Structure 1
């Protein structure tokens, strides 16, 4: 896999992923019955760690300045 994400994109994904996981856990957010949706936050964290977004690859997008 090639890296197709820049550092800013990766940092934003980590922050969004952490916020979503915090929503899944009752950490400052009320229980709504939809909190399980927050576990989707694992996806942006994983893509940020590996530096490759499959959707970017599909559409030919890159935010990496090296590409």
Structure 2
């Protein structure tokens, strides 16, 4: 897999993952929406760690500077 995410994009995804996880673990969002937020946060964190976004690949987007 070729990296298609720049550093700014990765930082934003990590911050969104932290916010989503915090909302879940503090009990602010519970039930189905809480589970959805937790899963979404996990996906954001994994994609940011890998540096490859499958949706970017499908739509031909590349935010990584060469």
Deviation at 1:37, TM superposition (A): 2.1
Report 1:34-53 matches (<5 A).
34-39=33-38, 40-53=40-53
Where is the helix percentage greater, Structure 1 or Structure 2?
A: 2
Work out whether residues 4 and 53 of structure 2, in 8 Å CA contact, stay in contact via their aligned partners in 1: yes
Moved over 4 A (4+): none
Q: Within 5 Å, which residues of 2 pair with 1:1-67?
A: 1-26=1-26, 30-33=28-31, 34-39=33-38, 40-66=40-66
Q: CA deviation at 1:55?
A: 0.1
- Aligned-residue Cα RMSD (Å) equals 1.4
**Secondary structure, in 3 states, of the residue corresponding to 1:19?**
helix
Deviation at 1:23, TM superposition (A): 1.2
Structure 2: state its 5+ residue gaps. none
Deviation, structure 1 residue 43: 0.6
Give the Cα–Cα distance (whole angstroms) in 1 for the partners of residues 29 and 60 of structure 2.
39
